[in-house]
Chain A
């Protein structure tokens, strides 16, 4: 196949997933400029290794490359002094322990406001390893199996991460809406 034909074939398979790729990068990098750079870099890498792609799930394959590119960039920056949170750190365990087994009031009005800005802010504040599973599951609607492939972790870890991510998000949401309620909003 000529380079041009190869590029055309690649485009037909990869470009339909551009929104998914950008959405993941945008959430991981938390800004538009970086997200665009990451996706472009990821697509060029994907093109380079395209001949080695034999599967049928092009979306999961592309998202795994986007993710790797984003994490490389985040890690580089964390070495430059910007903190890069780690989901497996004890601090996050502490934040969740005690929450999971606590009863939740079903009639709580805390969850009534689906405030886009608030949700975006809270999800963006999650550590990346939790943020990405929320984005992949809730926004890209990937199956557990696909998430496992994209993130490169076993199925069991997908589930525990998703559980913790939601517990963190729920807690943050309840806290924020309660604060607003206390202010009379």
Chain B
């Protein structure tokens, strides 16, 4: 490999979009070329500086209202227009400098089916989930235990809540674990796992499921947030974020794939 090709592939390496074979060839070149190593360092610092230093402009709240007013039914977007401005500050200040990119892989292997339910019937439960999500972003209470180490987060829950949520760091898949938190939904304690995807925070609430059967992922949106719900292994999962459908589906499939099936219902 010559330096010109190496310099081109450096971008793909840093963007986590490199083919495995190219990666091997590039790393062989980097082992013997100091100037390409230096170029990688410079690109890496530039990327960190841009992600951490450049502005990600947030739409003014009035814009959602303006758009809503110009659509046939002016109820659209009102919730968002009322959403507290503090939300965006909380989000941007916790910006991770480097987040892995989404690798859009086929979801076939996960066994999850995708259902778009335009609107949920369980609107009150949804409102609680949305409120818990917003609260976690606003009140500087995103996590009770802040750690990307699943071996720190998992034991933290034991003794505090009567279930063992499967905690896994998914940083390699673009969803770094931020930590865990105790929250309350439906008047009972719920484990909240906090993941991040780029600038987005994802709360995953885990509660005991009504039955041990697995329920495939369903998605719907509520007050501008996307809510994904599924269950398996005796646990019910509710994930909420402002990520897109693809990312939510992917996170759900990753979490569901890691769920160990329970031995079977007693009796």
Interface positions of A (Cβ within 8 A of B): 3-13, 15-19, 21-23, 26-27, 32, 35-36, 39-40, 43-44, 47, 56-59, 100-101, 103-106, 108, 111, 114-116, 119-120, 123, 134, 137-141, 143-146, 159-160, 162-163, 166, 169-170, 173
Contact = CB atoms under 8 A, between A and B. Distances in A.
B267 interface: no
Contacts, number: 181
A106 B41 contact: yes
Given A23-B56, A145-B104, A162-B15, 6 more contacts: A5-B73, A17-B244, A18-B63, A27-B57, A39-B59, A47-B71
A176 to B, nearest CB: 12
A10 B63 contact: no
A105 B73 contact: no
Contacts of A103: 34-35, 38-39
A23 B11 contact: no
Contact of A143 (B60, B70, B75, B102): B102
B89 interface: no
B4 A100 contact: yes
A138 B50 CA distance: 7
A111 B42 CA distance: 8
B67 A169 contact: no
A169 B4 CA distance: 18
A101 B3 contact: yes
Nearest to B73: A4
Interface stretch (B129-137, B165-173, B221-229, B254-262): B221-229
Main secondary structure of the interface of A (DSSP, over half): helix
B48 interface: yes
Interface in B23-70: 34-35, 37-39, 41-43, 45-60, 63-64, 66-68, 70
Nearest to A99: B7
Nearest to B78: A11
A5 B17 CA distance: 40
Nearest to A39: B63
A139 B54 contact: yes
Nearest to B220: A12
B167 to A, nearest CB: 24
A58 B224 CA distance: 13
B50 A119 contact: yes
A102 B15 CA distance: 22
A137 B12 CA distance: 12
